[in-house]
Amino acid sequence: MRKLVKCNNFTPNNINITATYRKMEEFLSLSLNDLPIPKAHAYLLGSIAPRPIALVSTLDRNNIPNLAPFSYFNVFSTRPPLLIIGPNRSGTTQRNKDTLINAWETFEVVVNIVNYPIVQQINIASAEYSAEINEFEKSGLTPIPSEIVKPFRVKESPIQLECKVREIIALGAGAGAGNLILCEVLKIHINTAYLDTNGMIDQRKLELVARMGGNWYCKASAENMFELPKPANEKVGWDVLPSYIKNTHILTGNELGKLALFFPKPTPEEVEVYKTNHVSDLQEIQASPQLLPQRIQQLIQQNRLHEAWLMIYSMTPLADNAN
């Protein structure tokens, strides 16, 4: 018969914890409005990254096509389906982008999503060409007719969104000032090669490309993607962790976060069974309390979160863990 370990005398204070275990970092603090525009621009874009890229197709009043990529771009509403593109004035010449001028004149755009197979071609389209130059010809990308609006779609783009411009908001009048082009999506076109068996977009197939600071880009490839389930309910959170676990210098913020999000927690009955079945392990930890966070870390890294909580509850009076 296995002997039941009594752990009520275990004192977490025996663990050598460091409340300030994270290194105190130094910060460079700046007022962006006091910096030259190129430097402020570099700090902002290096910080707010990665950013999705919209390859925006427009026509001018003479029906000359324009194609330009923008990383000041995102989705902001589902009903109605709204995107915002943010072309800035030039930081040197204060000139507005052709995309903005065309949007003012026609109130129609097509947003083409950028993935890795076309990244070099969209880089060509990013050059500062004069207004009469056709970037489709320069980039080698293929224009195809839209169904509702006049600007062309990009055949090579995995997803194309036909939009009408609802509003344009100027954020300033000087060099580097932004403009918001508020676009309502009228129709979306998705290359079926990027759909899963349920007819939904397979993020792993897309290989979307995003903009970073300087000349840096990144690719959302399958090996670099991960899923995070939504928190189950209000019973999860950092506050449910015992203080000696939160303050150990061994567990990282991500590891503690995984532990804090786990639900449901073990029942008292499960804890008693665990104590009975892990006598030698728990005795070893009682003799060397420093082992506790190390063992918990191993369990977290192996995604054995239920067992990690069983160990925590086994080594701590359950009254302290009533939450």
Supply 78's token pair: 């589902």
According to DSSP, residue 33 is labeled G
pLDDT averaged over 10-residue windows placed end to end, the chain, 323 residues: 44 47 74 94 95 97 96 97 94 85 97 98 95 96 98 98 97 90 98 97 96 96 90 89 88 95 94 94 90 94 96 70 37
Domains with residue ranges and CATH for the chain: 12-21+230-321 (no CATH), 51-211 (2.30.110.10)
Is the pTM of the predicted complex or chain greater than 0.75?
A: yes
Q: Where are the alpha helices (DSSP H) in 48-152?
A: 98-106, 119-125, 135-139
CB 271 within 8 A of CB 310: yes
- Classify residue 169 as exposed, middle or buried by CB count within 10 Å of its CB (0-12, 13-18, 19+): exposed
φ/ψ of 306, rounded to 5, equals: -60, -40
From the list 285, 237, 243, the residue with the least C-alpha distance to 258 is 237
Tokens 């005398």 locate to 9
Tell me the C-alpha distance between 129 and 106, whole Å.
20
